Chain A
C-alpha cells in the first residue's frame, strides 16, 4: 500500500507543491492524478469528475485540459524542437501550417528558445530540453500544468529560469500548477501551497513558511535537510560490525 487515508485539495489558479522524501510516492501520486495509474480504492476528482472512472475517450478529452512536464522532458527524439512543440496541435487541431508556426514560435519565444526551433532534442542541454517540454506542455493552453521534478539536475541559471517561467505561466495564463519536487528552496520561492507527503499520508500542508515553522519532527527534518530525524539515513540492515565480521550469516 503506497497511500492510505490520503486526502488533499488542490486549489484552482494556485501553484501547489507536492513534497516529500524520496520514495514516498510523489510521482505515483502525479500518475494517479493524471490516470496513468488507477487507484485500487478512493476517488480522484478533477473539476468534480472522478478521473478513474472515465472511459478512454473521456479520459483523452480530460487530458487535453492537462499539460505535463516530465522529469527528463520526454521530447520525441526523432523530430525537431519545432515539431515537438507543434505535435499536440497537429494531432488535435486542423490549424493551417502558418497558424501552427505562429503559435509554436510564440510558445518557444516565451521559454526563450525561438532560436532553437530547428535543433534536434539530442542537441539540447538538460535545461533547454525542459524548457522545450514546457513550451510543448502549454501549447494547447491547458487548464492544469503538472511538473514532475522540474528542478532536478539543473544548473543555478537554468533552475532560476524554470522557476520564473513556472510563476509567470501560472499568473499570465491563469492556470493551476502542480509541482512534484523535493527542492525546498525553489519550492519556497514559487509555491502558494505545499503538501508534505510521508508514509502514504499528508504529513503537513500550508504555505512554505508555515511548513518551515511546523512543530513536527518529520517536517522540520525535511524542510531543514537534517540527517537525523524520523526518516533514517540508513536503509534497514543487520548490525554493521556483525555484517563486516560475517556473523550475520551464521
Chain B
C-alpha cells in the first residue's frame, strides 16, 4: 500500500517537473523567436516550406473528402426539414470553426509533427546538436526555433486551405451531384458566416499550431538518443498533440460561445 502511494507521489512529482521544464522550454523558444523572425527569416521560410508546403497534398485531399462527406450528410439530414439549400451554411460553419482547424492540426501532427520530432531526435542521436554547441552555435536558436515558428506560421494557412478545399468538396457533392441550387448554396453561406466565425477558426488554428509545433520540437529535443527513443518520441508527438488539440478545441469553443 505504501509502495502504491509512493509510486503515485513520484509520478505526480515527475509530472510537475516535466510540465515546469516544458513551460521553461516554451519561454526559451519565445525568447529566441524575435531574433529568428527578424534576423534569420530565411531559416523560418525553409521550415514553413517543410511543415506547410509539403503537407499540402494530404491537407487538400483530406479537405476534399471531408467536405464531400459534409455535403452528403448535410443534404441527407437537412432534406428531412426541406432545408437542403442550407447545406452550404452547414458545411461552412463545420469547416471554418471546427473541422478545418482540428483535422488540419491532427493531420499536421501525423505528417509534419512526426517529421520534426524524428529529425530533431536523430540530430541529437548523431551528435549534430552537440556539434553545433561545440561550434558555439545555440541549437535551440538555430534548429528548434525556426522549426517551431515554421509550424506556427504554416498551420493557419493549412487550415484555411483545408476549409476552402472542403467547401469545394461540399459544392461538388451538393450542387453538382445532388442538384442543390448553386445560388442558394453560396449566397446563404455569404449572408450567415461572418468575420467572427472566421476569426474563431483562425484563432484556433494559431493555438493548435503553437501546441503541435511545440510538442513536436520538445519531444524531438528530449528524445532518448537511440532508435527506440526516437521512435517513441515520434509516437508521443502524435498522441499528445491529438489530445492537446481536442482539449484546447473544447476550451476555446466554450470560451467563444
A36 touches B134 (CB 8 A): yes
Q: How many residue-residue contacts, CB under 8 A, span A and B?
A: 51
What are the interface flags for A125-145 relative to B under an 8 Å C-beta threshold, 1 for contact and 0 otherwise? 000000001001000100000
Count residues on chain A whose CB falls below 8 Å from chain B CBs: 23
B134 touches A64 (CB 8 A): no
**Interfacial chain B residues near A91, Cβ < 8 Å:** 135-137, 142
- The 8 Å CB contact of A74, one of B126, B137, B138, is B126
**Interfacial chain A residues near B127, Cβ < 8 Å:** 70-72, 74
The residue of chain A having its C-beta at the shortest distance from the C-beta of B143 within the complex is A76
B133 touches A36 (CB 8 A): yes
**Interfacial chain A residues near B123, Cβ < 8 Å:** 76-77
A61 touches B136 (CB 8 A): yes
**Interfacial chain A residues near B132, Cβ < 8 Å:** 76
B130 at the interface (CB under 8 A from A): yes
The residue of chain A having its C-beta at the shortest distance from the C-beta of B138 within the complex is A60
B135 touches A77 (CB 8 A): no
Interface residues of B in 118-152 (CB under 8 A from A): 122-123, 126-128, 130-138, 142
Interface residues of A in 41-94 (CB under 8 A from B): 60-61, 63-64, 66-68, 70-72, 74-77, 87-88, 91-92
Give chain B's interface residue range (CB within 8 Å of chain A): 10 to 19
- The 8 Å CB contact of A88, one of B122, B133, B137, is B137
A60 touches B130 (CB 8 A): no
Q: How far is the CA of A72 from the CA of B122 in the complex (A)?
A: 13
Q: How far is the CA of A77 from the CA of B131 in the complex (A)?
A: 12
Once A68-B131, A70-B131, A91-B142 are accepted as A-B contacts, the answer to whether A77 and B136 lie under 8 Å apart by CB is: no
What are the interface flags for A105-140 relative to B under an 8 Å C-beta threshold, 1 for contact and 0 otherwise? 000000000000000000000000000010010001
The residue of chain A having its C-beta at the shortest distance from the C-beta of B125 within the complex is A72
A66 touches B137 (CB 8 A): no
A74 touches B131 (CB 8 A): yes
Interface residues of B in 8-45 (CB under 8 A from A): none
A77 touches B134 (CB 8 A): no
Q: How far is the CA of A75 from the CA of B131 in the complex (A)?
A: 8
Q: How far is the CA of A77 from the CA of B137 in the complex (A)?
A: 16
A177 at the interface (CB under 8 A from B): no
- The 8 Å CB contact of A77, one of B126, B130, B138, B142, is B126
What residues make up the interface of B, taking CB atoms closer than 8 Å to A? 122-123, 126-128, 130-138, 142
| A-B contact sample (8 more), CB < 8 A, given A66-B134, A76-B132 | A60-B138, A64-B136, A71-B127, A74-B131, A77-B123, A88-B135, A91-B135, A91-B136
